A and B are shown apart, each in its own frame.
Chain A
Amino acid sequence: MTSYRLNQGGLVDRATTLDFTFDGRSFTGHAGDTLASALLANGQRLVGRSFKYHRPRGILTAGAAEPNALMTIGSGGRTEPNTRATMQELYAGLEAVSQNRWPSLDRDVGALNSLLSPFLGAGFYYKTFMWPAAFWEKLYEPFIRKAAGLGRATYEADPDAYEKVWAHCDLLVVGSGPAGLSSALTAGRAGLRVILADEHHALGGSLLSETAVIDGVSAPEFSARCVEELRSLPNVRLLPRTTVLGWFDSNVFGALERVQKHVAVPAANRPVERFWRIAAKHAILATGAEERPLVFGGNDTPGVMTATAMRSYLNRFGVAPGKKVAIFTTNNSGYALGSDLESAGVALTAIIDSRADGPAYSGQARIIRNAVVTDAFGGKSLTSIRIKHDGRFETMDVDALGMSGGFSPVIHLALHRGGKAQWSDERAAFLAPDDLKGIALAGSVTGAGNIAESVAQGSTQAAGLASMMGKSAAAMSASVEGEMENRPSRPLWFIPDVIGKAFVDFQNDVHRADLKLAAQEGYGHVELAKRYTTNGMATDQGKLSNVNAIGLLAQARGLSPAEVGTTTFRPFYTPVSFGALSGASKGKHFQPVRKSPLHDWAAKHGAVFVDTGLWYRSAWFPREGETAWRESVDREVLNVRSNAGLCDVSMLGKIEITGRDATTFVDRVYANGFAKLPVGKARYGLMLREDGMIYDDGTTSRLGENRYYMTTTTAYAAPVMSHLEFCAQALWPELDVRLASVTDQWAQMAIAGPKARTILQGIVDEDISEAAFGFLAAREVSLFGGKLTGMLFRISFSGELAYEIAVPAGYGESVADALMALGEPHGICAYGVEALGVMRVEKGFITHSEINGTVTPADVGLGKMVSRTKQDFIGKQMLSREGLSHPSRLRLAGVMPLDPAHTFKGGAHILSKGAEATLENDQGYVTSYAWSPTLQSPIALALIVNGPDRHGEEVVVWNGLLNEFTPARICDPVFFDPANEKLHA
């Protein structure tokens, strides 16, 4: 118990006590705490185990860069691993569990890895798990998988809601420290539409941890006044708890708002997280700077943290880091902390400054200049440090150590669109490039050294933007007292005489020797070193470690950091939950459901539905006593072939084509001729791709001189519509043609079977006899004595005497009811897509099972349909390629097993009789398979090498997955009624 809560000071509400648990133990904190500050206030410094060596780890930072204090928060479906305790707002009932330890945080078996550390250095995966090869799958991979990762995700469904929203603004300000507040205020006062986002729950940024006096009031009070004024401006939107994660094209920013991650049970009517896409005319990044750790031995001992973090816990949360504190610094940041510690009555043993000259210091602490800390000791909690100064070593008993290796501006967002960071020797930091468009920087992200400078910069940038947008803005300034100005220091990458492991990347357990090894072994390039050592990977993406690693690599290779350069900065700045990325698109909202206008009709006839894309299609209609789907399908097929059936075909794509040039247009998009199609007739059409392969098929009816009604397959309804629009708008804009998708406007049903005409005549007013309404007739018809107008088509997908009738969607169910009632004496049945499929295979009709993108019209026996006379149609030129008429192409044929008791499956391959099952011997494959109740045998369509010339040949159907060989015979693909006698009945 070393860190503790002070009796006074800070912005926490001591009157409000919040209970929470950590690893099952009960603690209390206050409103305004983060989980990290509350744990420190309770003296809990050991908060996790490291990734590789399972070393005890404590809280290192007070912000988004935290690499150590990663915890699993919540339980059940709300379990969230790898949450940074430094970013997690405390709430009553919070349950936190430490990670990467077993059986407990205090006694962790994995810590034995530390003993193996000589074998676990950089690149150990590549060196260790090389051989024998057989060990990889059985031993190494399972071992690595078990050991890898930090927290564990839950398998339970997340009960909470997420949403995605857009926002638009003149100015997005990222960060609410002095520069962010002055930017937002200047722009807000000038009337710009401003969004101010900050990742913390309280706005104010570094001001909340600052003890300086600004304009006569405390820094937190100054920030509160700014925020209050911003809140009063209607043109300003404040987004606390919102991390701006990425900068994308068109100046769109991604941001994650944690709406309800600070409550035990989120309100059900609001999301827990909201993913913003912010289209900003301009943005100002006031993202501040990240303090770098120093790389000395045992710098990961709990009790060691960055000076800024220590200052934040002290000033903002009223938490003292220990009872005997030391500070190791390379710049003035350490003195600001020292002064605050002493003011708060915390014993400060010494400030150890790597520089020969530091600022004047008025406190009691011993100032040791020209000195370094070489090591920290204590294991689970810091007990002492070893100092080197004037060539001597000195050991000092302390229980907390603040460290500052200088500041790295948080320039990540500015680099997300490919810009490269520029090393500045003067600032000892990587800075954003100068030529940024759409964003500007203000405050310590630019290297600004004090509050007044930050305020002025933010205000100047915002005023400039305001005047660019035609608004006048007054510049804002602040007078600041009592601030320790921060001047950049000479960087201290390498500390000599270190005994213990000196960590560079805390999260990935990369220590100094790993980087040295990487450079020695030829992986010194910054991108290679990252992969070889894992430095800069995982959830914190090297926020603390990258610059130190670059400094050490530079030193090892005798280069400057500018020459080493940085790895690539990519979105997202911090991890984003999958929930936020998927937003509301889950469960029943994952995709829309399309229901046919005849859905309810099908449902009341007991349909079993099948998902077909977004559609629910009626697959079959089981009747009482039928136990297997095949029983229903067989009955439906036989009944249609002997009586009649009604099938819902509403989900076929339907496109109405009009305009003076409609005929020319239809003629060009189909491979077969349409120019001579008479009004009142339908024609089967083959649509090709420009490369000559079949794209889609369907019937198109000419309802008027310049009016066509095209149907497409269900699956290709949307692509065909887009394709036609492309043809009409991009290829032939000179044609006068209009396209309208009318799929949802019409309920369409097929009435098939020998009694179809008799039944249908009961509702159609006109004569539909063979003479009056012959095969392929297509006309508007009057129904129910003139009560309704529909479209009637004499087309057949079953080989039977058949019609399709289309009526306005709202009438679909009544019309189907009427037909079923009229058909009852004639034995009509409802039939589904399964029976439809069986009948089309019996007739050898193709679907997208056959026209799979590799077949030409000739391949499926429709070569004669292709127009020889048309000057142009889509696919004409490429169809004439020599190879497409080669006899060895896979072409359509039928296949039947020799023994009807034998079965096979779609996708099975064809082998010549006696041939070995090899790729070279492959003769093609089965595209469609069905049991034909009409023929009492399995039947199949197949694409077979030279198929049409091999009718009668005995082959073997080979299923390589099940290792089944079925003797079969190639035959004509039309299994039933090849003369089409029934069709024309």
Chain B
Amino acid sequence: MASLITCPHCGQRPKEEFAIKGAALARPAPDAPQGEWYDYVFLRTNPRGRYEEYWHHVSGCRRWLVVTRDTASHAVEDCRDAAERAPT
């Protein structure tokens, strides 16, 4: 896991200030088929490589972020406010 995260609001901060929720999946529409909801709630990929996750800057600005990182190299590619980005 990356040791330093560049929060779009607070700058470079140590990982201890953050909490990780997990995969940054898009929440299905309320009327989406139940299969989509199953996938959203229960199914996770476990990629070696690029991964988008929800991180919460709990001990900082308290904003939810989408951190894109490489699970093998731990390099952080991108970190942005969750509100600014519709998860893919």
- Residues of A that sit less than 8 Å from B by CB: 166, 248-250, 252, 277, 279, 417-418, 690-691, 722, 725-726, 729-731, 733, 871-872, 876-878, 880
List residues of chain B with CB within 8 A of the CB of A248.
3
List residues of chain A with CB within 8 A of the CB of B24.
730
Instruction: Give Cα A733–Cα B82 distance, bound, in whole angstroms.
Output: 8
Whether A690 contacts B41 in the complex (CB less than 8 A), given A250-B2, A726-B64, A876-B30, comes out as yes
List residues of chain B with CB within 8 A of the CB of A733.
82-84
Q: Are B82 and A729 within 8 A (Cβ)? A: yes
Q: Are B34 and A249 within 8 A (Cβ)? A: no
B34 — nearest CB in chain A belongs to which residue? A877
Chain B 54-88 per-residue mask, 1 if CB under 8 angstroms from chain A, else 0 = 10101000111000000001111000011110010
List residues of chain A with CB within 8 A of the CB of B84.
733
List residues of chain A with CB within 8 A of the CB of B87.
730
Q: Are B62 and A725 within 8 A (Cβ)? A: yes
Q: Are B82 and A252 within 8 A (Cβ)? A: no
Instruction: Give Cα A872–Cα B32 distance, bound, in whole angstroms.
Output: 11
Instruction: Give Cα A878–Cα B35 distance, bound, in whole angstroms.
Output: 10
Q: Are A730 and B83 within 8 A (Cβ)? A: yes
List residues of chain B with CB within 8 A of the CB of A880.
34
List residues of chain A with CB within 8 A of the CB of B76.
250
B76 — nearest CB in chain A belongs to which residue? A250
Whether A726 contacts B54 in the complex (CB less than 8 A), given A690-B41, A877-B30, A878-B37, comes out as yes
Q: In whole Å, how far is A748's beta carbon from the nearest beta carbon of chain B?
A: 23
Whether A279 contacts B56 in the complex (CB less than 8 A), given A249-B74, A725-B62, A878-B37, comes out as no
Instruction: Give Cα A277–Cα B82 distance, bound, in whole angstroms.
Output: 29
Chain B 6-33 per-residue mask, 1 if CB under 8 angstroms from chain A, else 0 = 0000001010000101001001101110
Q: Out of A252, A690, A726, A731, which one reaches B56, CB within 8 Å?
A: A726
Beyond contacts A729-B83, A733-B82: 18 other A-B pairs, Cβ-Cβ < 8 A, are: A249-B1, A249-B2, A250-B3, A252-B3, A277-B3, A418-B73, A690-B40, A722-B19, A725-B56, A725-B62, A726-B21, A726-B64, A726-B82, A730-B24, A730-B82, A876-B30, A877-B32, A878-B41
List residues of chain B with CB within 8 A of the CB of A277.
3, 14
Instruction: Give Cα A680–Cα B75 distance, bound, in whole angstroms.
Output: 51
List residues of chain A with CB within 8 A of the CB of B34.
877, 880
Instruction: Give Cα A418–Cα B73 distance, bound, in whole angstroms.
Output: 8
Q: Are A249 and B30 within 8 A (Cβ)? A: no
Instruction: Give Cα A876–Cα B32 distance, bound, in whole angstroms.
Output: 12
List residues of chain B with CB within 8 A of the CB of A726.
21, 54, 56, 64, 82
List residues of chain B with CB within 8 A of the CB of A249.
1-4, 74-75
Instruction: Give Cα A878–Cα B27 distance, bound, in whole angstroms.
Output: 13
List residues of chain B with CB within 8 A of the CB of A166.
14
Instruction: Give Cα A876–Cα B41 distance, bound, in whole angstroms.
Output: 12
The interface on chain B, measured as residues whose beta carbon lies within 8 A of the other chain's beta carbons, has a size of: 34
Instruction: Give Cα A770–Cα B19 distance, bound, in whole angstroms.
Output: 46
List residues of chain A with CB within 8 A of the CB of B31.
871
Q: In whole Å, how far is B62's beta carbon from the nearest beta carbon of chain A?
A: 6
Q: In whole Å, how far is B71's beta carbon from the nearest beta carbon of chain A?
A: 12
Q: Are A250 and B54 within 8 A (Cβ)? A: no
Instruction: Give Cα A880–Cα B73 distance, bound, in whole angstroms.
Output: 41
Instruction: Give Cα A691–Cα B39 distance, bound, in whole angstroms.
Output: 11
List residues of chain A with CB within 8 A of the CB of B21.
726
List residues of chain A with CB within 8 A of the CB of B64.
725-726, 729-730
Instruction: Give Cα A876–Cα B87 distance, bound, in whole angstroms.
Output: 21
Whether A252 contacts B41 in the complex (CB less than 8 A), given A725-B56, A729-B83, comes out as no
Instruction: Give Cα A157–Cα B84 distance, bound, in whole angstroms.
Output: 51
Q: Out of A729, A876, A877, which one reaches B63, CB within 8 Å?
A: A729
- Residues of B that sit less than 8 Å from A by CB: 1-4, 12, 14, 19, 21, 24, 27-28, 30-32, 34, 37, 40-42, 54, 56, 58, 62-64, 73-76, 81-84, 87
Q: In whole Å, how far is A247's beta carbon from the nearest beta carbon of chain B?
A: 10
> 24 A–B contact pairs at CB < 8 A?
A250-B3, A252-B4, A418-B73, A691-B41, A691-B42, A722-B19, A725-B62, A725-B63, A726-B64, A726-B82, A729-B63, A729-B64, A729-B81, A729-B82, A729-B83, A730-B82, A730-B87, A731-B27, A733-B82, A871-B31, A872-B30, A876-B30, A877-B37, A878-B41
Instruction: Give Cα A250–Cα B16 distance, bound, in whole angstroms.
Output: 14
A874 — nearest CB in chain B belongs to which residue? B27
B4 — nearest CB in chain A belongs to which residue? A250
Q: In whole Å, how far is A968's beta carbon from the nearest beta carbon of chain B?
A: 37
Pick the most buried of A277, A418, A729: most chain B CB atoms within 10 A of its CB. Answer: A729
Q: Enumerate the 6 nearest inter-chain pairs by beta-carbon distance, A residue then B residue, closest first.
A: A733-B83, A872-B30, A730-B82, A250-B4, A252-B3, A250-B3
Q: Are B4 and A279 within 8 A (Cβ)? A: yes
Instruction: Give Cα A266–Cα B3 distance, bound, in whole angstroms.
Output: 32
List residues of chain B with CB within 8 A of the CB of A731.
27
B1 — nearest CB in chain A belongs to which residue? A249
List residues of chain A with CB within 8 A of the CB of B40.
690
Q: In whole Å, how far is B48's beta carbon from the nearest beta carbon of chain A?
A: 12
Instruction: Give Cα A733–Cα B87 distance, bound, in whole angstroms.
Output: 12
List residues of chain B with CB within 8 A of the CB of A878.
37, 41
List residues of chain B with CB within 8 A of the CB of A876.
30
Instruction: Give Cα A523–Cα B24 distance, bound, in whole angstroms.
Output: 44
List residues of chain B with CB within 8 A of the CB of A690.
40-41
Instruction: Give Cα A418–Cα B75 distance, bound, in whole angstroms.
Output: 13
Q: In whole Å, how far is A79's beta carbon from the nearest beta carbon of chain B?
A: 31
List residues of chain B with CB within 8 A of the CB of A725.
56, 62-64
List residues of chain A with CB within 8 A of the CB of B28.
877
Instruction: Give Cα A691–Cα B41 distance, bound, in whole angstroms.
Output: 7
A253 — nearest CB in chain B belongs to which residue? B3
Q: Are A730 and B54 within 8 A (Cβ)? A: yes
List residues of chain A with CB within 8 A of the CB of B1.
249
B81 — nearest CB in chain A belongs to which residue? A729
Instruction: Give Cα A794–Cα B54 distance, bound, in whole angstroms.
Output: 39
Instruction: Give Cα A252–Cα B81 distance, bound, in whole angstroms.
Output: 24
List residues of chain B with CB within 8 A of the CB of A872.
30
Whether A722 contacts B56 in the complex (CB less than 8 A), given A690-B41, A729-B81, A733-B83, comes out as yes
Instruction: Give Cα A921–Cα B58 distance, bound, in whole angstroms.
Output: 45
Q: Are A871 and B30 within 8 A (Cβ)? A: yes
Instruction: Give Cα A876–Cα B63 distance, bound, in whole angstroms.
Output: 25
Instruction: Give Cα A729–Cα B34 distance, bound, in whole angstroms.
Output: 24
B24 — nearest CB in chain A belongs to which residue? A730
Q: In whole Å, how far is A904's beta carbon from the nearest beta carbon of chain B?
A: 36
List residues of chain B with CB within 8 A of the CB of A877.
28, 30, 32, 34, 37
Q: In whole Å, how far is A720's beta carbon from the nearest beta carbon of chain B?
A: 13
List residues of chain A with CB within 8 A of the CB of B19.
722
Instruction: Give Cα A730–Cα B34 distance, bound, in whole angstroms.
Output: 21
Instruction: Give Cα A722–Cα B87 distance, bound, in whole angstroms.
Output: 19
List residues of chain A with CB within 8 A of the CB of B81.
729
List residues of chain A with CB within 8 A of the CB of B42.
691
List residues of chain A with CB within 8 A of the CB of B30.
871-872, 876-877
List residues of chain A with CB within 8 A of the CB of B41.
690-691, 878
List residues of chain A with CB within 8 A of the CB of B12.
279
A722 — nearest CB in chain B belongs to which residue? B56
Q: In whole Å, how far is A29's beta carbon from the nearest beta carbon of chain B?
A: 41
B58 — nearest CB in chain A belongs to which residue? A722
Q: In whole Å, how far is A879's beta carbon from the nearest beta carbon of chain B?
A: 11
B82 — nearest CB in chain A belongs to which residue? A730
Q: In whole Å, how far is B45's beta carbon from the nearest beta carbon of chain A?
A: 18
Pick the most buried of A872, A876, A877: most chain B CB atoms within 10 A of its CB. Answer: A877
Q: In whole Å, how far is A605's beta carbon from the nearest beta carbon of chain B?
A: 36
List residues of chain A with CB within 8 A of the CB of B58.
722
Instruction: Give Cα A929–Cα B40 distance, bound, in whole angstroms.
Output: 38
List residues of chain B with CB within 8 A of the CB of A871.
30-31
Q: In whole Å, how far is B40's beta carbon from the nearest beta carbon of chain A?
A: 8
Instruction: Give Cα A726–Cα B57 distance, bound, in whole angstroms.
Output: 11
A718 — nearest CB in chain B belongs to which residue? B58
Instruction: Give Cα A722–Cα B64 distance, bound, in whole angstroms.
Output: 9
A881 — nearest CB in chain B belongs to which residue? B34
Q: In whole Å, how far is B7's beta carbon from the nearest beta carbon of chain A?
A: 13
Q: In whole Å, how far is A109's beta carbon from the nearest beta carbon of chain B?
A: 49
List residues of chain B with CB within 8 A of the CB of A252.
3-4
